[in-house]
Amino acid sequence: MAFVRFRVGFWAVCFILALSKIAAADNLSPELGVLLEEGLRSKGPVKVEQFLQLDPIQKFCSDSGVNIHSEEAGALMSEALEQIQYPDDDDYVGDWREGERIAQSGKGLRFNDSDDTINGGNCYACHQIRKEELAYGTLGPSLYQYGKLRGYSMQVLRYTWAKIFNPQAFLICSNMPRYGHKGILTMGQMRDIMGLLLDPKSPVNE
Amino acid sequence: MFNFVRLVLVISALGLTHTYADDETTSGIQEYRDLLADINPAELWILSGEDLWFSAAGPNEASLEECDLGKGRGVTKGAYVELPRYFPDVGKVMDLEQRLIHCRMVIQGFSRDEVTSYPFTKRGEETSAIEFLVTFIASESKGMRMNIPLEHVAEQNMFDLGKQLFYLRAGSHDFGCITCHSGDNKRIRLQELPNFRNAEQARKTYGSWPAYRVSAGEVRTMQHRLYDCFRQQRFPEAIYGDDLITALIMFLAKSADGGVYDAPAMKR
């Protein structure tokens, strides 16, 4: 009898565990959630539990038939815009030399990185920026002469900051990471990248 | 013997280019391809894999000739272009590597850990038996057409999951396969990105793995390619031999349906 009770208890615990596992991935289709939960392993700075919590934008953009002109898209974009944090004292433009280093570095937040790796921006993976750097990707538009072409007005500064902070605020399901919103870069690092793009003395604007 | 000497020459030559810049490596590879149209270092992997397939091994002292890759016991010809597929004996869809895990456990008597703990050769260490076996079996389908009919409901289900995975955008960078592999003529830095929504590119790409990677000096499998794309897209580590990767491979294999399979290839 005691054994039977143990068995029942055992299965009840299994059942509750199974439920909670699925609940952990409740943003995904349950089958896909289970597949990811079982097939992935936390390593370095990448944690499975955190990974499985899709936020509303990730959920929306993971649909293969996504309609980026829908009402929902509009709502997600305005929410993203409202959440953008701007630097104090309108201090937007940091050190372009440091910005160049950040734009070059693809380090951070991969499972082979460590928790204390300093994250890079990896902007060159997708953008042309300085003329001298020929190993640039083409997923995004060229940012060469970014400031020279657009000017250095407060409007340009605010837009560019916001775009780097959360590109989804301007184009839903953009392929560009949300550097500020997701905490990939610090405010200070973002300021330095702004310097690379928007300091008139930066070689980008020669 | 003559072939073998040539092979050693090619390999040492490739080892040299390895230290050059990307561009030079790429043109270097083309040069070797033209020069030695019929020879690829992966030949060594094919030979060793064939050896492993036919040799008795494991606690049961059995060879893999009893292993059914979907076309009957011991049949290797044409198996790869029909994988992943549903296997009635286990009641699930398996890709080649899962099936090999299964056969080496059931037929040869190895433990799961023994056949999954070292899938990808580490620099300077011995070559993984898995990479030898996969290269041999894949090469047995060279010149045949990819044939993934998705007849069984479990196969359709696996494909659907793979498709969902392809479009999934998650993690710190919101990346999905779709971020890097859905447009034509795109690059990350200087590396060209195939567009899997384009059937011709999907066929050409899928049909070229496993491949001898000049940069690694090793043959790498599709499993390894996906393992590394997970890393680049800031996903957690994929567990070797799990259904997650099988689902993705099912999606990619189906996207390549009808294409002529032409591996092992040689790549950067």
Answer for the pair B97, B221: CB distance below 8 angstroms, yes or no.
Answer: yes
Answer for the pair A124, A133: CB distance below 8 angstroms, yes or no.
Answer: yes
Q: According to the model, what pLDDT value does residue A65 have?
A: 93
Share of chain A residues as helix, strand and coil, in percent rounded to the nearest 5: 50, 0, 45
Per-10-residue mean pLDDT, chain B, length 268: 44 43 61 64 95 98 98 98 98 97 98 96 94 98 98 98 97 97 95 96 96 90 94 97 97 98 90
The residue in chain B having the minimum alpha-carbon distance to the alpha carbon of residue A184 is B172
- Inter-chain touch A39–B239, beta carbons under 8 Å: yes
B258 shares a domain with B171: yes
Is B103 noted as a catalytic residue in this protein? no
Q: Predicted confidence band at A7 (pLDDT cuts at 50, 70, 90)?
A: very low
Smallest Cβ–Cβ distance between B188 and the set A42, A137, A182 belongs to A137
- Inter-chain touch A138–B185, beta carbons under 8 Å: yes
Taking residue A29's Cβ as centre, other Cβ atoms within 10 Å add up to 13
Runs of H (alpha helix) within A105-153: 146-150
Smallest Cβ–Cβ distance between B169 and the set A61, A111, A136 belongs to A61
**B96, B98, B101: which is closest to B114 by C-alpha?**
B101
B114 shares a domain with B79: yes
**Separation between Cα atoms, residue B202 and residue B95, nearest integer Å:** 18
Cβ within 8 Å of residue B50, ≥6 positions away: B136
B94 shares a domain with B181: yes
pLDDT tens column, A93-149: 999 999 999 999 999 999 999 999 999 999 999 999 999 999 999 999 999 999 999
**Separation between Cα atoms, residue B77 and residue B137, nearest integer Å:** 8
3-state secondary structure of A164: helix
B230 shares a domain with B119: yes
Smallest Cβ–Cβ distance between A138 and the set B187, B234, B239 belongs to B187
| Residues in B touching A123 (Cβ below 8 Å) | none
A152-169 average pLDDT score:
98
User: ipTM of this model?
Assistant: 0.91
Going along chain A, which residue ranges are E strands? 40-41
B84 shares a domain with B122: yes
Instruction: Go through chain A and tell me how many residues it has.
Output: 206
- Inter-chain touch A40–B239, beta carbons under 8 Å: yes
B152 shares a domain with B67: yes
B34 shares a domain with B111: no
Chains A, B: CB pairs < 8 Å: 118
Q: Say which DSSP state A117 is in.
A: P
Q: According to the model, what pLDDT value does residue A3 have?
A: 42
B174 shares a domain with B132: yes
Q: Which domains does chain A have, with CATH numbers?
A: 2-64 (no CATH), 96-205 (1.10.760.10)
B27 shares a domain with B157: no
Taking residue A183's Cβ as centre, other Cβ atoms within 10 Å add up to 11
- Phi, psi torsion values for B90, nearest 5 degrees: -115, -5
Q: Predicted confidence band at A13 (pLDDT cuts at 50, 70, 90)?
A: very low
Number of domains forming the structure of chain B = 2
**Separation between Cα atoms, residue B169 and residue B121, nearest integer Å:** 29
B72 shares a domain with B28: no
Q: Which domain holds residue B35?
A: 1-39
Do the bridges between strand B85-87 and strand B92-94 make them parallel or antiparallel, or are there none, so unpaired?
Answer: antiparallel
Q: According to the model, what pLDDT value does residue A27 have?
A: 63
Cβ within 8 Å of residue B160, ≥6 positions away: none
Q: According to the model, what pLDDT value does residue B268 have?
A: 80
| Residues in A touching B170 (Cβ below 8 Å) | 51-52, 54, 58, 62
- Phi, psi torsion values for B186, nearest 5 degrees: -100, 155
**B174, B176, B175, B194: which is closest to B184 by C-alpha?**
B194
- Phi, psi torsion values for B149, nearest 5 degrees: -75, -15
Answer for the pair A52, A25: CB distance below 8 angstroms, yes or no.
Answer: yes
Give CA angle at B135 (B4, B168), nearest 5°.
Answer: 145
**B97, B139, B96, B141: which is closest to B120 by C-alpha?**
B97
In percent, the amount of chain A with pLDDT more than 70 equals: 87
B102 shares a domain with B5: no
**A109, A83, A103: which is closest to A181 by C-alpha?**
A83
Q: With a cut of 50, say whether residue A9 has pLDDT above it.
A: no
**Separation between Cα atoms, residue A9 and residue A118, nearest integer Å:** 47
B79 shares a domain with B35: no
Token pair listed for B45: 């992997």
CA distance B160 to chain A (A): 10
Q: According to the model, what pLDDT value does residue B214 have?
A: 87
